[in-house]
Structure 1
Amino acid sequence: MAYVTSLFARKMVAAAGEGVDGPALLQAAGLDPEGAWDPKVMIPDTAYYDLLEGIAEQTDVTDLPVRGGASMRCDDYGALGLAWKAAPDLRGSLSRVERYARLWTSVVSYEVRPDPQGTLFILHRSGPRRLGLRLSNETTLASAVSLVRQVSSAPFVPLEVLIRHSAPKRTDAHEAWFGCPLRFDAELDALRISDEALGRANILGDEGISRYLTSHLDAELSQIAPEDTLVRRARDAIAQGLSEGVPKMEDIAHELGLSGRSFHRRLSEQGLNFQGLTEETRRDLAEGLLREPNYTLAEIAFLTGFSEQSSFTRAFKRWVGVTPASFRKDHASG
Structure 2
Amino acid sequence: MTAKDKQDDNNEVTVNASSTRSLSGYLIKKGLSKKKLEAQTGLTLSKLDQPDQRIPIETFQSLWDIAEQFTKDPAVGLHVGESSNPDDMGVVGHIFFNNATLGEALKQFERLYKLVNQGMRVEFYVDDDFAYLNYICERPEYYSRANMDRTMAISVIRARTLIRSKLKMEYVAFAHPEPGYIDEYQRIFQCPIKFDQPHCSIVFKKQFLAFELPKRNPYLHKVLTRHVETLLNKIRPKKSLSDQVKVIASKQLPKGDIDAEKVASQLCMSRHTLYRKLKAEGSSFQELIEAVRKEKAIRYIKEKRYSLSEIAFLLGFSELSAFSRAFKRWTGSSPAKYQK
Match of 2:237 among 206, 227, 230: 227
Size of the aligned set, in residue pairs, is: 240
Matched, 1:253 2:263: no
Correspondence for 1:64 among 69, 72, 76: 76
CA RMSD of aligned residues (A): 3.1
Q: CA deviation at 1:13?
A: 3.1
- Aligned partner of 2:144 in structure 1 is 133
Q: Could you report, residue by residue, the CA deviation over 1:239-285 in whole angstroms, capped at 9, with x for unpaired residues?
A: xxxxxxxxxx976725499xxxxxxxxxxxxxxxxxxxxxxxxxxxx
Residue 184 in structure 1 maps to residue 195 in structure 2: yes
Moved more, 12-21 or 105-114: 12-21
Unmatched segments (≥5 aa) in structure 2: 1-11, 244-276, 286-340
Residue from 49, 54, 66 that aligns with 2:66: 54
TM-score (norm 1): 0.62
Identity of aligned residues (%): 18
Shift in CA distance, 33/210, structure 1 to aligned 2, threshold 3 Å:
closer
- Whether the aligned pair in 2 keeps the contact of 1:160 and 1:183 (CA below 8 Å) is yes
Cα displacement string for residues 70-105 of structure 1 (whole angstroms, at most 9, x for unaligned residues): 244454345433321211111122222111122233
Corresponding letter in the other structure for 1:204: K
Q: Equivalent residues in 2 for 1:165-204 (5 A)?
A: 165-204=176-215
Asked if 1:29 is matched to 2:57, the reply is no
Tell me the distance in 1 between the aligned counterparts of 2:280 and 2:214. 47
Whether contact under 8 Å (1:73, 1:146) holds in the other structure is no
Q: Which residue of 2 aligns with 1:143?
A: 154
Letter in 2 for 1:52: W
Q: What letter matches 2:213 in structure 1? A: N
User: What SS class does the counterpart of residue 132 from structure 2 fall into?
Assistant: strand
Instruction: Please state how far the C-alpha of 1:53 moved relative to its aligned partner.
Output: 1.1
User: Residues of 1 paired with 2:120 and 2:109: CA distance?
Assistant: 11
Relative to structure 1, is the Cα distance of residues 38 and 179 closer, same or farther in structure 2, using a 3 angstrom cutoff?
Answer: farther
Deviations 1:198-220 (A, max 9, x none): 21111113555534543343343
Superposition pairs of residues 163-312 of structure 1, within 5 angstroms: 163-207=174-218, 209-221=220-232, 223-227=233-237, 253-255=281-283
Mapped partners of 2:98, 2:120: distance in 1: 23
Runs of 4+ that moved beyond 6 A: none
| Aligned mates of 1:180, 1:200 — CA distance in 2 | 20
Instruction: Output one character per residue of 1:124-154: Cα deviation in whole Å (capped at 9) or x when no partner.
Output: 1133358x71211221111111332342144
Which of 100, 112, 116 matches 1:88? 100
**Cross-structure match for 2:300:** none
The verdict on how the C-alpha distance between 1:148 and 1:9 changes in structure 2, with shifts beyond 3 A counting, is same
Secondary structure of the 1:86 match is: coil
Report whether the alignment pairs 1:45 with 2:65: no
Looking at structure 2, the residues matched to 107 and 39 of structure 1 have their Cα atoms a distance apart, in angstroms, of: 19
Q: Distance in 2 between matches of 1:252 and 1:173?
A: 50
Q: Distance in 1 between matches of 2:208 and 2:172?
A: 15
With the length of structure 2 as denominator, give the TM-score of the two structures: 0.61
1:108 touches 1:124 (CA, 8 Å); kept in 2? yes
In structure 1, runs of 5+ residues without a counterpart are 234-248, 258-334
Distance 1:19 1:79, change over 3 A: closer
Q: How far 1:28 sits from its partner (Å)?
A: 3.0
Hey, what's the Cα distance between the residues in 2 that align with 1:229 and 1:39? Answer: 26
- 2:170 and 2:192 in contact (8 A); partners too: yes
